[in-house]
Structure 1
Amino acid sequence: MRRLPNDSSRSSSSDRRAPIDRVTFFNADNKTVFQIHTVPIDTDAEKYAQALVERSADEAKKANRAKMGEQLGTLFSGLWQEVAALHFHWKEYVTLFGVKPERITLLNRAAPFFFRMIQDELWESTLLSLARLTDPSNSQGNPDRSNLTLQALPALIADETLKREIEKQISEATQLTAFCRDWRNRRIAHRDLKLALNEPTKPLVEGSRAKVRDALTAVAEALNTVERHYCNSETRYDLGGPLGGAISLLYILDDGLRAQEARQKRLEEGKPLENDFVARDL
């Protein structure tokens, strides 16, 4: 969700804000982040969003180009999509594995091997994404191969004050994602032999949810600095969440396990229902 700063020229109260300025969720391809911009003050946000439901990422890119220039607007739009999707994925990880132990117990009762696999994959894909977002703007040894990364932003910014601020924020984000690069280089993209064989070697830099949270905050702040300068608004990447995600799954698993326990109890008591013996082909 994106918010606008206070607009005192449109409201008598200095605390008055637009109720919603950007609504985000995934398109059907589960990769492209869908976005709806600027719900005016005193406008029904839900009706406004419904009226703009066909808004596309290409239209958002055009709007960014108009305010930032073609090159910067295009790069910013690509980075925005990456960072928004990364926040979605991380929120799903935290929802499943980082809220309370009862959820872990539920997942282990339902499908422990599968959910451990999901936990590992989401963790590693998050670190990989953070490493990519703060990589150099060109691949080492190949100056013609450009990367979608925060480090490509300063070269496209003409305002020297803004450029210095962005460079400082990118440097901070790069430091905060250093542990991600160690994981990427020695475990995810490549398998360090001694680590893989559990032989004596330098251990991986410690990773944690707190470190990921700090890195995500730094990455988002760098993009928001650009957005505030050119668009007078910012994106709350941490507020978004897809419909039909992890929370829905948890409730369905809980319902299914309760039904399984009830069926088992009926069978043990010799009081089965007809449906208890129906074979299912899922």
Structure 2
Amino acid sequence: MSASERTAAQAKTDHIAKMGEEIGTIYSALWQEVAWIHKKWAQYVALFGTNPERINLLNQAAPSMIRTVQDTLWEDVLLHLARLTDPPKSMGKANLSVRQLAALLASSPIGTKVESLTATTLAACEFARDWRNRRLAHRDLDLALGQSVQPLAPASRAVVKASLASLEELLNAVSLYYLDSTTFFDLGPGGEDAVSLLYLLRDGLRFRDDRIARIKRGEHRPDDFEREAL
């Protein structure tokens, strides 16, 4: 670990020291959540939102499983956005959300600014809350049966990206005031693990094609018909 890197525990300690126990604890937990959703989104984009060649490669390897991964990761990101914008309390229990942080900062010097940025974030993430409420966490009967007169809110990679940007701006407004620093949560093209997987799949498919070609030419090797247990 370099001198500029900190563990989550070290960052939390610093946040509490400069923001106070309650605000620092909530901010630190939200920072981890926003960093994690950006990481998941980078993996999704690396696999499914970069170019058609990558999707074609994935479909050559395992189309049914890949579709399941794509849908699951997409839905998980939407659920994460919805959670991050939940009310401060629901069913009598407190929630970790940006609205919880905004409530704690209401009487602070940046309370008005945080309130405005929180409203912007809620608007940006409203589509995810609609998906969560009527399809992902609950299954609206009329919608499931195709009888709903109100379609789900439009959802796209562009909308998700805008939602993530609003979360980043909100947290950075708080950190700029208390910590005199900001965080670049979106570091551009990422998903290094996802890209590594793509290279492994490409090499594996090439190996498979070479093996099939050898067998067709009658030049097969003994191990061409063996499959080791995993």
Q: TM-score, normalised by structure 2?
A: 0.94
Instruction: Tell me the equivalent position of 1:171.
Output: 119
Instruction: Mark the CA change 1:90 to 1:190 in structure 2 (over 3 Å): closer, same or farther.
Output: same
Question: Which residue of structure 1 aligns with residue 94 of structure 2?
Answer: 146
The equivalences for 1:241-280 within 5 A come to: 241=190, 245-280=193-228
Counterparts in 2 of 1:160 and 1:180: CA distance versus 1, 3 Å: same
CA distance in 2 between partners of 1:211 and 1:158 (Å): 28
Matched, 1:57 2:8: yes
Tell me the SS of whatever aligns to 1:210.
helix
* Structure 1: runs of 5 or more not aligned: 1-35, 37-46
Q: Deviations over 1:198-231 (max 9, x none)?
A: 3343211110000000000001110011011111
Residue in 2 that maps onto 1:88: 39
Q: CA-to-partner distance for each residue in 1:214-267, whole Å, 9 max, x for gaps?
A: 000001110011011111111111128565x10010000000000000000000
The secondary structure found in structure 1 opposite 2:110 is: helix
Q: State the partner residue of 1:235.
A: 183
Any idea what the Cα deviations from partners look like across 1:147-204, whole Å, max 9, x if unmatched? 0010112332376441111100000000011111110000000001122223343211
Runs of 4+ displaced beyond 3 Å = 158-161, 240-243
Structure with greater helix share of residues: 2
Query: Alpha-carbon deviations, 1:79-113, whole Å to 9, x = none?
Result: 01110000000110011000000111011100111
Match of 2:152 in 1: 204
Give the TM-score taking structure 1 as reference length: 0.77
1:63-74 correspondence to structure 2 within 5 Å: 63-74=14-25
Match of residue 192 from structure 1: 140
Aligned partner letter, 1:61:
K
Match of 2:75 among 121, 124, 130: 124
Structure 1 counterpart of 2:61: 110
Looking at structure 2, the residues matched to 97 and 201 of structure 1 have their Cα atoms a distance apart, in angstroms, of 30
Whole-angstrom CA distance in 2 between matches of 1:60 and 1:269: 61
Higher strand content, 1 or 2 = 1
Runs of 5+ in structure 2 lacking a partner? none
Q: How many residues align?
A: 229
Does residue 172 of structure 2 align to residue 221 of structure 1? no
